[in-house]
Amino acid sequence: MTGSTSASGADTGVRETDAAAGDAGVREAAVATIQRELTAFARRARAAAARMHPELSLVSFTLLAHLEDSGGCRATDLATYYLLDKSTVSRQVAALERAGHVERRSDPADHRIQLLHLTAQGEQVLAQAADRRSQAFHARLSDWDPAELSRFAAYLTRYNDEAADPA
Q: How many CB atoms lie within 10 A of CB 99?
A: 15
Is residue 34 close enough to count as binding its own copies by CB under 8 A? yes
Pick one of 16, 85, 143, 161: the residue that binds DNA (CB under 7 A): 85
Residues 24-43 that bind DNA (CB under 7 A): 43
Residue type (1 letter), 26:
V
Pick one of 15, 27, 91, 158: the residue that binds DNA (CB under 7 A): 91
Is residue 57 close enough to count as binding DNA by CB under 7 A? yes
Q: Give me the least distance between CB of 105 and DNA, in Å please.
A: 10
The answer for residues whose C-beta is within 8 angstroms of residue 22's C-beta and 6 or more apart is 14, 15
- 118 exposed, middle or buried (CB, 10 Å; 0-12, 13-18, 19+)? buried
Is residue 127 close enough to count as binding its own copies by CB under 8 A? no
Spatial separation of the C-alpha atoms in residues 161 and 167, rounded to whole Å: 11
Is residue 95 close enough to count as binding DNA by CB under 7 A? yes
Q: Give me the least distance between CB of 163 and DNA, in Å please.
A: 16
Is residue 11 close enough to count as binding its own copies by CB under 8 A? yes
Residues 49-78 that bind its own copies (CB under 8 A): 51, 58-59, 61-62, 65-66, 69-70
Is residue 131 close enough to count as binding its own copies by CB under 8 A? no
Q: Which stretch binds DNA (CB under 7 A): 8-16, 18-26, 92-100, 121-129?
A: 92-100
